[in-house]
Amino acid sequence: QVQLVESGGGLVQAGGSLRLSCATSGRTFSSYVMGWFRQAPGKEREFVAAISWSGDSTYYADSVRGRFTVSRDNAKNTVYLQMNSLKPEDTAVYYCAAGHMIFYMDFAAEPRYNYWGQGTQVTVSS
């Protein structure tokens, strides 16, 4: 069993930055692909970014590529999402997720992730 706890959300002005963290429990963190998803009010949850177990491979949604950076520290069992140049349309609840044995082509596939955090709210004002 893996437990995920997100933190770092908040209110920021457009153009600002936030860094989200996702702390995980369990001794097998380093074997999981870690993903970030978000859900805006009235919309379905969507993929944001993912990182391989080693950190060597990352994948981003087109809407955030070049502005967001996903990283992980396996020694701390933590994955991060650095969000720069934030836009009002980035407003959402952000969730981290963990999945085992996910191939790169499936990094954005929500059903491939087995464990989810409770989410953290990010609000970007214009």
From the CB of residue 72, how many other CB atoms can be counted at a distance below 10 Å?
23
Residue 27 has pLDDT above 80, yes or no: no
Q: Which residues of 75-108 are buried (b: 16+ CB within 10 A; e: fewer)?
A: eebbbbbebeebeeebbbbbbbbbbeebeeebbb
Q: 19 - beta bridge partners?
A: 82
pLDDT at 2: 86
Q: What was the pLDDT predicted at 98?
A: 96
Is the confidence at residue 110, as pLDDT, over 90?
A: yes
pLDDT (mean) for 29-33:
87
Return the pLDDT at 86: 98
Q: Which two tokens stand for residue 17?
A: 């930055």
Tokens (6 digits) for 54: 């080693």
pLDDT at 13 over 90: yes
pLDDT tens profile 37-69: 999 999 999 999 999 999 999 999 999 999 999
